[in-house]
Amino acid sequence: MAIENRRVDSVRIRLSPDMNERFEKLANAYGFPPATLAAFAISRFVQEEENKRAIALEAVNKMANQAFQFDESVFEKMFASMMPEILKQVENEKGTKDESS
């Protein structure tokens, strides 16, 4: 059984007289009533916008994944200069806890 894709919801829009005339000429050129052409145009616009958003989201996710992919050598380089200070802080913290016990 075929799935029906009937248009049952409506949207009301207002066009300037000039745009309405241009739109009606275009609808006539395509051989469609203006409402049918409007439905087609809106469907096409929505699909294109959804595609653009999907592509943009995919690009952002790809960049984020690349930005956060570090291997151990990168972390070693980043933290090598900080390690002596980190160890000193840890030792100081241990000493403070030992003295308070």
Task: Give tens-digit pLDDT for 30-82.
Answer: 999 999 999 999 999 999 999 999 998 888 888 877 776 666 666 677 777 77
Whether 1 shows a pLDDT value over 70: the answer reads no
As a whole number of angstroms, the distance between CA 63 and CA 61 comes to 5
pLDDT band at residue 98 under the 50/70/90 scheme: low
- Of residues 18 and 87, more confidently modeled: 18
Q: What is the pTM of this model?
A: 0.57
Residue of higher predicted confidence among 29 and 77: 29
